Amino acid sequence: MFRNVLELVSLAENQNIKISEVMIAQEMVVTGKTREQIIKQMDFNLTIMEQAVEKGLAGVRSNSGLTGGDAVLMHKYIQKGNFLSGETLLDAVSKAVATNEVNAAMGTICATPTAGSAGVVPGTLFALKDKLNPTKDQMIEFLFTAGAFGFVVANNASISGAAGGCQAEVGSAAGMAAAAIVEMAGGTPQQSAEAMAITLKNMLGLVCDPVAGLVEVPCVKRNAMGAANAMVAADMALAGITSRIPCDEVIDAMFRIGQTMPTALKETAQGGLAATPTARELEAKIFGMSLNS
């Protein structure tokens, strides 16, 4: 059993196994299920994620009309070949957006760790599928590794926007993805921890300010940026770059920042982007309210 990233990495290093294997073993202890049952459940999650990516890339729109179609635009842009960023990074962005647009359109997604941040992990995973050609088992391992770091955050800080701001949702998702990317790319457990720390450090203080109280704006585009952040942080860690602040301390800092964050910036739609004039006009239009109400 592990309680923090230090213990997670130590278990993997001492037993000379992947972080994903540590997580599988812990799930067996916690749930009492067999290894086969646990892997089967994660395989099901993987299928849901893939279906959401495909549906989003085919084009969806939310009932509010606030979001939809951006994944298609990004995919077409990539196909033109004159993009400025790397193709794999932009592919991750398009697939992260696709997943979160499906969520906004009330489709089926797999919360990773939440519905509002559900695009980052599958977005990066399925972009890497085309880049690294992993086996299905390796893709399932990716999800267990992401889950291991999400487990630590959930038990030592928060994965809730209402409790800790968007840093706790998209920030956590991006860190989880970065750690899993490193393992899939052949990095060490410690490098996965470095990637998580680097990612989360750069998303500290991110507020949760959904326009009209809907998980759409700016949530969908934040999933895009979370995926990009994860990809870059993973590359940094694989290059040998380390975080001067240990991963567990970064997670603790996120928790403390969330505690001191004003209520208006924690999923209440009372502050931030949600309180802009345009956001209030959109809210009134969507819900048929008077602008003065």
Residues in the chain: 293
* Structural domains of the chain sorted by starting position, each given as residue range(s) with its CATH number in brackets: 5-287 (1.10.4100)
Q: What is the pLDDT of residue 11?
A: 98
The yes-or-no verdict on residue 165 having pLDDT over 90 is yes
pLDDT tens for residues 9-47?
A: 999 999 999 999 999 999 999 999 999 999 999 999 999
- How many angstroms separate the Cα of 227 from the Cα of each of 193, 207, 251? 17, 17, 19
Q: Is the pTM of this model over 0.85?
A: yes
Portion of the chain with pLDDT greater than 70, in percent? 98
pLDDT tens for residues 46-92?
A: 999 999 999 999 999 999 999 999 999 999 999 999 999 999 999 99
CB 273 within 8 A of CB 209: yes
Q: What is the pLDDT of residue 1?
A: 86
**SS3 label, residue 208:** strand
The yes-or-no verdict on residue 289 having pLDDT over 80 is no
> Residue 290 — pLDDT band, cuts 50, 70, 90?
very low
What is d(CA 92, CA 240) in angstroms, rounded to the nearest whole number? 23
What is d(CA 15, CA 122) in angstroms, rounded to the nearest whole number? 28
Amino acid occupying residue 286:
I
pLDDT tens for residues 83-92?
A: 999 999 999 9
Q: What is the pLDDT of residue 59?
A: 98
Number of neighbouring beta carbons within 10 Å of residue 9:
23
Residue 266's DSSP bridge partners are 208
- Token code pair at residue 159: 């994965």
236-243, long-range: CB within 8 Å, 24+ apart, which pairs? 236/194, 236/195, 236/198, 237/178, 237/182, 237/187, 237/191, 237/192, 237/194, 237/195, 237/198, 238/182, 238/185, 238/187, 238/191, 238/195, 241/194, 241/198, 242/194, 243/194, 243/197, 243/198, 243/201
Q: What is the pLDDT of residue 48?
A: 98
Amino acid occupying residue 103:
N
The yes-or-no verdict on residue 100 having pLDDT over 70 is yes
Mean of pLDDT over the chain = 97
Which among 242, 246, 231 has a CA at the least distance from the CA of 178? 231
> Residue 292 — pLDDT band, cuts 50, 70, 90?
very low
What does the pLDDT average to over 183-199?
98
